[in-house]
Amino acid sequence: MSIHVRSISKSFGSFQALDDVSLDVAAGTLLALLGPSGSGKTTLLRIIAGLEFPDAGSIEEDGEDITERHARQREVGFVFQHYALFRHMSVFENVAFGLRVRKVPSAEVTTRVEELLRLVRLEGLGGRKPSQLSGGQRQRVALARALAIRPKILLLDEPFGALDAKVRVELRQWLRRLHDEIGMTSVFVTHDQEEAFELADEVVVMNHGKIEQQGTPDEVFDRPSTPFVMDFLGNVNVYHGRVENGRAFWHGIPIDYPAYPHAQSREARVYLRPHELEISPPGAVANRLGTSLAASIVRVTRSGPITRVACRPHGSEQELHVDVPTETARGLQITLEPGTHVAITPRNARVFIPGPEYSI
Ligand code: ADP
Ligand code: MG
């Protein structure tokens, strides 16, 4: 089932939580809503679910306007961050809940709940109480409960947020398989970009009640369309400079920016991701962006497979952060330690012009 969100706005008192949000989710897509806390993700999800109603705009499912319909009249399954299981009920009865409410005959409830418990790999645990399960198991019960009514749309609000890292990774891979097997349309809220990028077919980045960008994980990561998306997707080096005649300059290195061909120079920002900078022994290194920059190492931190190097380009006060795969770092002909002179070569750089018409 496809979902079309058209120009939705929603305020709580004087606070505008959603500002003219439009979003299309194709049938069968697993879409991640990504954004900082307070950006309106939960509000948007609750409106799609029919648990909250917009002040303006409409929602369609498969072309049918369902804006006025309450959650119970929509074929939607919902999983919240906190398990929200009924504590006094067994696992079996938790999963059966939606079916009992819909007066499904008892024999059919048993068949369906057992099938669901198998699907979420909890067969044989139907008699337990939620308190007798681990966090990951409880969240799978919540998922089975949401799936019991055979929803066409599954909405998940940070479903793995409260779990530890290892369980999260397992559950997200498993959720991806489940989504594909069942063939639902799923919208998944997270503030964890790794989770969004690993799981989703499409990613939507939200900020201050608006959508900053929608695209595949590759599109969003490789071609962030606003400075916010760029910042949000990782620690980046940001430089304030100017652009003119289709080029910006970063420490004298020209960076093409054909979108601004004008002779009159304009303020611009240059963004460089730490993993898109290369470090080598001092001396000029040429690549398609021109040449390298002479710098000195200020600090080195190893964090597992990545060695993070803070440098200071000669003649500059601003630190430049470079991420080197630790393997690569070992193979360098220089020792990465404070004081070492190096050459820094950007493999990639992005230019943004601050203003209403941001573009790359
Ligand atoms: P997110 O899920 O991205 O963290 P939310 O959609 O929960 O963001 O909230 C967006 C903003 O709207 C927040 O600033 C929050 O305080 C506010 N908000 C959300 N729900 C309500 C509500 N029922 N009453 C008042 N303010 C709310
Ligand atoms: Mg939220």
DSSP 3-state of 342:
strand
Give this prediction's pTM: 0.77
Q: Is 268:245 a contact under the CB 8 Å cutoff? A: no
Q: Which of 3-7, 203-207, 233-237 has the lowest mean pLDDT?
A: 233-237
Pick the ligand that lies closest to the CA of residue 51.
1
Distance 124 CA to ligand 1 centre (A): 39
pLDDT of amino acid 287 = 64
Q: Which of 298, 267, 287, 283 is nearest to 347 (CA)?
A: 287
Ion ligand 2, residue ranges at CB < 5 A = 41-42
Distance 186 CA to ligand 2 centre (A): 16
**pLDDT confidence of 288, banded at 50, 70, 90?**
low
pLDDT of amino acid 286 = 66
Enumerate domains of the chain plus CATH numbers.
3-220 (3.40.50.300), 237-358 (2.40.50.140)
Measuring from each residue's beta carbon to the nearest atom of ligand 1, which residues come in under 6 Å?
12, 15, 17, 35, 37-43
Pick the ligand that lies closest to the CA of residue 36.
1
pLDDT of amino acid 41 = 96
- Average pLDDT over the chain, rounded to an integer: 89
Q: Which of 25, 273, 136, 58 is nearest to 33 (CA)?
A: 25
pLDDT of amino acid 359 = 42
- In the predicted structure, residue 69 carries a pLDDT above the cut 90: yes
Question: What is the arithmetic mean of pLDDT over 220-249?
Answer: 86
Gap between the Cα atoms of 43 and 21, Å rounded: 11
- In the predicted structure, residue 64 carries a pLDDT above the cut 50: yes
Question: What is the arithmetic mean of pLDDT over 54-81?
Answer: 91
Pick the ligand that lies closest to the CA of residue 40.
1
Place of tokens 């001396």: 283
- Please identify, by atom number, the ligand 1 atom nearest to the C-alpha of residue 206: 3
Question: What is the arithmetic mean of pLDDT over 26-51?
Answer: 95
* Helices and strands: H and E segment counts in the chain: 9, 20
Question: What is the arithmetic mean of pLDDT over 204-232?
Answer: 90
Q: What percent of the chain has pLDDT over 70?
A: 96
- In the predicted structure, residue 188 carries a pLDDT above the cut 80: yes
Place of tokens 């430089």: 239
**pLDDT confidence of 360, banded at 50, 70, 90?**
very low
Nearest CA to ligand 1 atom 23: 12
pLDDT of amino acid 239 = 86
- In the predicted structure, residue 307 carries a pLDDT above the cut 80: yes
Q: What percent of the chain has pLDDT over 90?
A: 52
Distance 319 CA to ligand 2 centre (A): 34
pLDDT of amino acid 356 = 45
CA 36 to chain centre: 10
Please return the burial class of 89, using the count of CB atoms within 10 Å of its CB with bins 0-12, 13-18 and 19+. Answer: middle
pLDDT of amino acid 60 = 95
Nearest CA to ligand 1 atom 7: 42
